Structures are given as structure tokens and as C-alpha cells.
A and B are shown apart, each in its own frame.
Chain A
């Protein structure tokens, strides 16, 4: 008998531990109601982004910024008769977890829209689930072009999902923008490419490689690493043989940082360049070195006059995590949903699921000046704001090197 109870106790403890860690808390606005009329109840803005795991630094910034926008809307009584709340679901940067998160939000009739996801690969599983329920989705961070313009985005663009929008620009601009900088401004002609095999990294590297060739550069090696690899000695030895002048990494900082460090350890002293996926302080902490480069969407948040209000408000809230690369975008995404919701409901409107179509239409027509500049969407749901910035690690911190629109 004792044996059995110990055994079941061990299993129960294990299960509880797992359950305790995966529970997601619903966080309501901290300024509950105030003087606003919230008689009609609570509407929910969903957030799907990594709250744990390697990419949580970016995901927490997304969550906090969305929370900030919702808190402000509650204070200003933007949506008449309703209180807004944020429901954050952790996708752990994992497409399967993202699908679960989307299913959970989709079954909640009070959900008006979803902000997310961070990863393009997660967006691929989230999009169809939210589309079925006609829930508007605005991503602050997905940069893979096929998410809006379909598989043949370059030749025959076709809107992939009517409910999907994004406030950041796309990799078919980001990749070439990086290529122009690396080949023209930095003068690197022989470039090696490493990707992590995920939707985002592969797409970005493909666009990058095409532009490098068009600009007269040469791709001397192209390698892949596994999503969970930590020892890159093998690929580094392989690319080292090709004598590259720079390495372009299509992937994210949990591997990009250590990869840069191991390049140096292998005495291959070349800069590593990546996209918005490596543009985070954590990249430097994990081994990113001076001279490494990254492109990211938008202009540097700190330098934008339009972002000052956001940055000040974010700092005033004293969140424990930085807003990160996508905080301002998440803030704009949330405001796009909230403002469109206010337009859809008008002064006395009641929320019901039938209103979701009208909300999608309202977001499509939304146009305002946000923290990241002008926020509006084209016929595919892409942002009309196509500004990109090259950043370089200088004295242990990211510093902007060049801001502009991709010239084509």
C-alpha cells in the first residue's frame, strides 16, 4: 500500500509542477474601470507571444506594451460601455503551442482581436484558427512575406487571410536591405549563410541571398543548424574553409549569440549579421560581439519623436522587462484593434460575435499616427510603413547605423 501511495504521490507532484508552470494568468487592466462606464462587461484583447523559453525577452515586451495600450484605453474610456482586458497566451515560440493558444482564445466570445504572434512559424498555425472564427489578428513582429501575400508573394501575391494584419514590414524588404548594407556600405563580397530551418530564418536568408548575388556579392557557403543545437563547431569549420568575409544568420538570438561567440573562438573573426530575430540585448549577452550587425523593422524606437510618449508611458509603468524590439509595434497593434473596435461599436453598440466581420473591415481602414510612425495597412494586410534600420553592436550595445526604406 505504501509503495502505491509513494508512487502516485510522485506522479501527482510531477503533474502538478507541470500544470503550475503552464498555467497562464489572465491579467486585467490595473486601472479597473475608473470613472468610465463599463456596465456592458469586459472585452478581451488576446496576446499570443512567447512568455517563456529562449525568445521570452521579445514576447514579454509585446505583452507589456499591449497591456499598456489597453490600460490607456480603459483610462480614456475609448470603448464605450466596456472594460478591456488582456489575455496573454504563451506560445513558447512553438507552432503547436501557438495553435493551442489560438484555439483557446477563439473559443472565448469576449475576444475581439489578437495581437501576435512573434514567430512567423507560429503565425502559420495560428492564422487559420483565428480566421475560422473571424477574429482579427494584428502581428507586431511577423516578417515572413507569405503570411499576407501567399506562397507566391513575389510573382502572384494573393491575400492569404482576410483577418490578418501586421504593423511591421516584411523580409522581402528586410533581407535585401541587409544585403545592400553588407555589400555596399560594409564592402563584404564573400558571404556565408547559416539558417535555423524555420519559416522566418529560411525566408529571410533566401531574400538576402538573392539580393547579394544581384549586387555582385558571392554566397560562398550555405549551411543549416538544428533549432536546438548549441555546439556549432561543425558548421563553423565548414564555412571557415570557404573564407567568408561576413556571416549572415537567418534565425533568432538564442542561437545567434552563441554562434557569434563560437565564430570568434574558432578564430574566424568576421561580423555576424542577422535580421530582427537577433536584434535584442540578449544576443549580446549570449555572445554577440562588437561589429555584429542586425536589421530591424521601423526606425529606432528611442529616436522617433512619435515613440516618445510610448517610451515615457512604458517606463512610468515600471514593467520588469524592456519593451524590446517589438514593444512599440505591439502598442500600435493594440491601438489599431482598440480604435477600430470603438469605431465598430460606436456610442451604444453591443459586442457580439457578428461584429467581428465589421471589426476586420475597420482595422483594414485604420490609419493613424502611432509610436512607430504612420500605421495603416495595404490591401494584403501589410503595413504601409516600410522603414528599416541597420544596427551594429558597438561597445557592447546595439547602436543604429542606418535607417531608411529599401530602395529596390
Chain B
């Protein structure tokens, strides 16, 4: 029983990480109906951005104290992720905004490969995994039989806090209302004075910032990063977004925690072990999609002209 509880805790940590990335998928899809496959790579770039900040920008005195280095690395990672996402939006997606939907989709795959290869080629020693500093308290939080590393606790807390903040921002703020309006009907929103370019850019910025945060948290939890990490985790995040209903913030977060739990529990208690955890994730996804094609919290797809 205590092992099961521990496995559930492990799953929740994974879920938190996936949630931060899934939010980016779901927001971009909500606004421009694009599955941004390069989003996993934004997460990876964010992790390398914060690692670069740590390696080359921070003086030794700051490196020694995570209280100082964590926010600075966070800043570095988020800035790098956001800048890359802005460049991507401006030069790859904006020109294709009125193109058939397949064109930006293929472009997204292309960018994903290009970003991976760019990091592999230009980041020193990135051909193999790189060590990432812990930048958070060592040790574990012990709750009865469960013990979770503090860096894992941080993932859970940050992912929940940020998704709640995001939900509030979208529901309450003026820009949030503009985002919702654009998602519902871009043409009418434009007539009402919403600048779609600004809304779309903001969406990419928010998604990338969350992915950048996730990159740092992943690095600090796993303590190493490699260029494949975005692809791997991106697949889970994308699946989580679809499971929860693409376009829904709440759906993405809940979907992510379900995926994290299924991955851990399926990997440990089902035949085949962790090598088959993908199988259980997709079995759950297919089952949900059979009965609720729009996902758990998604709205049924409207036919668009």
C-alpha cells in the first residue's frame, strides 16, 4: 500500500511537469487551431537557456545559493524560451496563418527538428546529456510512507499555482477576454477592435514562459538535460492536452495529471514494465476519445468554413 502511495506521488510530480507544457499546446490550439509540435522543443530550449545562465552568467557566489540562482536561472530560461517562440511565431507561423492547416503543422515539425539540431550543433557538448544543477533544496519531503524530493514538490506547487493564475488571467483580464473572443470567432473579435496579432503573440509568449519554467524545473528535478527531452515530454504533454480537450486550460492540467499517474502506475503494475508505459497512456487516450471525442473538458468541434 505504501508503495502504491509512493508511486502515486511519483505520478503527480510527472503530471505537474507535463501540465506546464500541456498548457502551451492547449492555448495555442485554442487561438489558432495549430498543434504546435515545436512546443516541446521550446521546453528543451528553456532548460538549456537556464543552464547557460548558470554556466556562463552567474558568478560563483550566486551559484552557491539556490535562493539567488533559482530566480535568475528561471529568468534566463524563460527569456530564451520566449524569444525563440516569438521568432518562431513571427517567421514561421504568421506567414502561414491563412494557409491550409496542414502547412503550419508540417512547419511545426520542421521547427522542432531544426531547434533540436541547432542546440545539438551550437550548444557546447550538447551532443550528449549535460549535468544540470539542483538549484533547490536537497533532500525529501516525508509524509508518512511517502517521500518526494523537494525539487519534485516544487514542480507540483509551481504547476498548480501557475495554471490557476493562468485560468484567472484568461477569465478576468482584458487581454484574457480578447483571447477568449479570438478563440471563439477571430473575425468578429477583430471587428470588435481586438488586434489578433497581439493576442496570438501573447498566447505564444505565455505558453513559452510556462515551458521555460518547466524546463528549469525538469533540469533541477532530473539533474541532467539532453536534446531529446523536449520530444519525449512534448508527446506526453500533447497527449494530455488532447485528453483534457484541446483548448481547455483546466482540461490540459487534469489531463496532464492523469497521464502522469497512468505512466507511473501502468509502468510499475502492468505487464511489460516501464517500457510499455506509452501503451497504457495511449490506451487511456483512445478510450476517452471513443466516448468523448472532444476530450474530457473540450467543447465539441464546430465546423469551420
The reply to whether B232 and A3 contact each other, CB–CB distance below 8 Å, is: no
Stretch from B59-67, B111-119, B191-199, B240-248 that touches the partner: B111-119
Q: Which residues of B contact A7 (CB under 8 A)?
A: 95-96, 99, 103, 107
CA distance A52 to B110 in the complex (A): 20
**Interface of chain B, helix or strand or loop or mixed?**
helix
Contact residues, A51-83 vs B (CB, 8 A): 52-57
Interface footprint category on A = 35 or more
Contact with A along B88-130 (1 / 0, CB 8 A): 0001100110110001001100110110011011000001110
Find the B residue at minimum CB distance from A223: B273
Judge whether B82 is part of the interface by a CB distance below 8 angstroms: no
Q: Are B3 and A238 in contact (CB under 8 A)?
A: yes
Contact flags A33-55 to B (C-beta < 8 A → 1, else 0): 00000000000000000001111
Taking a contact as CB atoms under 8 Å apart, the answer to whether B224 and A3 are in contact is no
B267 and A233 contacting across the interface, CB-CB below 8 Å? no
| In contact, A13 and B114 (Cβ under 8 angstroms) | yes
Binding-face segment, B7-15, B162-170, B297-305: B7-15
Interface residues of A in 198-255 (CB under 8 A from B): 223-231, 233-235, 237-238, 241, 254
| Bound: A13/B277 CA distance, A | 35
> How many B residues, CB 8 Å from partner?
50
Query: Is there contact, CB below 8 Å, between B96 and A285?
Result: no
B96 to chain A, nearest CB (A): 6
> A187 interface residue, CB < 8 Å from B?
no
Q: For residue B204, give the distance in angstroms from its CB to the closest CB of chain A.
A: 16
**A257 pairs with B224, CB closer than 8 A:** yes
| Contact assessment for A55 and B117 in the assembled complex, using a CB-CB cutoff below 8 Å | no
A133 within 8 A of B: no
Give the residue of A15, A226, A254 whose beta carbon is less than 8 angstroms from that of B277. A226
Residues of B within 8 A of A304 (CB): none
Q: Which residues of B contact A21 (CB under 8 A)?
A: 117, 120-121
B73 to chain A, nearest CB (A): 19
The distance in angstroms between the C-alpha atoms of A56 and B277, with both chains bound, is 27
Contacts of B113 in A (CB 8 A): 14, 17-18
Question: Are the C-beta atoms of A234 and B268 separated by less than 8 Å?
Answer: yes
Residue of B nearest to A12 (CB): B110
Q: Mark B146-163, 1 if CB is under 8 A from A, else 0.
A: 010100100000000000
Q: Is the CB of A282 within 8 A of B128?
A: yes
The answer, yes or no, to whether B50 is at the interface (CB within 8 Å) is no
Identity of the chain A residue whose Cβ is nearest the Cβ of B14 in the assembled complex: A231
Q: Is B140 an interface residue (CB 8 A)?
A: yes
B1-29 interface (Cβ within 8 A of A):
2-3, 6-7, 10-11, 13-14
Q: Are B149 and A234 in contact (CB under 8 A)?
A: no
Give 1 or 0 for each of A1-31: 1 = CB within 8 Å of chain B CB: 0110011001101110110110000000000
- A26 CB to closest chain B CB (Å) equals 19
Whether A237 pairs with B7 at a CB distance below 8 angstroms is yes
Contact with B along A293-326 (1 / 0, CB 8 A): 0000000000000000000000000000000000
Determine if B222 is an interface residue (Cβ-Cβ < 8 Å).
Answer: yes
A258 proximal to B (CB < 8 A): yes
B275 with A197: CB separation less than 8 A = yes
- How far apart sit A14 and B107, CA to CA, in the bound complex (Å)? 9
Tell me which residues across on chain A come within 8 A of B228, comparing CB atoms. 228
The reply to whether A237 and B95 contact each other, CB–CB distance below 8 Å, is no
Contact A254 B117 (CB under 8 A): no
Q: At the interface, yes or no: A287 with Cβ under 8 Å from chain B?
A: yes
Establish whether residues A237 and B3, one from each chain, have CB atoms under 8 Å apart when the complex forms. yes
Query: Which residues of B have CB within 8 Å of A225?
Result: 273-275
A17/B3 contact (C-beta < 8 A), A7-B96, A53-B128, A286-B129 known = no
Residues of A within 8 A of B278 (CB): 226
Known contacts being A11-B106, A237-B10, is A286 close to B131, with CB within 8 Å? yes
Question: Given A225-B274, A285-B131, A286-B224, A233–B110 Cβ distance below 8 Å?
Answer: no
| A260–chain B nearest beta-carbon distance, Å | 11
Is B95 a contact of A54 with CB atoms below 8 Å?
Answer: no
Q: A3-B99, A17-B118 are in contact. Are A230 and B222 (CB under 8 A)?
A: yes
Quick check: is B226 within 8 A (CB to CB) of the other chain? Answer: yes
Known contacts A228-B228, A267-B147; is A10 also within 8 Å of B92 by CB? yes
Kindly list chain A residues whose C-beta atoms are within 8 Å of the C-beta of B74: none
Q: Are A234 and B7 neighbours in the complex by a CB distance under 8 Å?
A: yes
Which of A6, A15, A233, A254 has the most B CB atoms < 10 Å from its CB? A233
Proximity string of chain B (76-95) to chain A, C-beta cutoff 8 Å, 1 when within and 0 when not: 00000000000000011001
Nearest residue, chain A, Cβ from B278: A226
- How far is A3 from B92 in the complex, measured between Cα atoms in Å? 10
Which residues on A sit within 8 Å (CB–CB) of B232?
228, 230
Residues in B neighbouring A286, C-beta threshold 8 A? 129, 131, 224
CB pair B274 A235 closer than 8 Å: yes
A32 at the B interface (CB under 8 A): no
- Residues on B with beta carbons closer than 8 Å to the beta carbon of A10: 91-92, 107, 110-111
Distance (whole angstroms) from the CB of A94 to the closest CB of chain B: 12
A7 CB, nearest partner CB in chain B, Å: 6
Structural contact, B107 and A229, CB atoms closer than 8 A: no
Decide if B223 is an interface residue (CB 8 Å cutoff): yes
Nearest chain A CB to B138 CB, angstrom units: 8
Question: Bound state CA distance, A56 and B126, in angstroms?
Answer: 11
- A237 neighbours in B (Cβ, 8 Å): 3, 6-7, 10, 268
Q: Is A266 an interface residue, CB under 8 A from the partner?
A: yes
B272 to A, closest residue via Cβ: A224
How near does chain A come to B14, taking the closest CB pair, in angstroms? Answer: 6
B222 to A258, Cβ gap below 8 A?
yes
Judged by a CB distance under 8 angstroms, whether B264 is at the interface is yes
Write out, one digit per residue, whether chain B residues 218-237 have a CB within 8 A of any chain A CB (1) or not (0).
00011110101100100000
CB-based contact A14/B114 at 8 Å:
yes
A64 CB, nearest partner CB in chain B, Å: 15
Q: 26 pairs across A/B with beta carbons < 8 Å? A: A7-B96, A10-B91, A11-B106, A14-B110, A15-B110, A17-B118, A21-B120, A53-B127, A56-B127, A224-B275, A225-B274, A226-B275, A226-B277, A228-B228, A230-B232, A231-B14, A231-B222, A233-B14, A233-B152, A234-B268, A235-B268, A254-B128, A265-B140, A266-B149, A287-B131, A287-B224
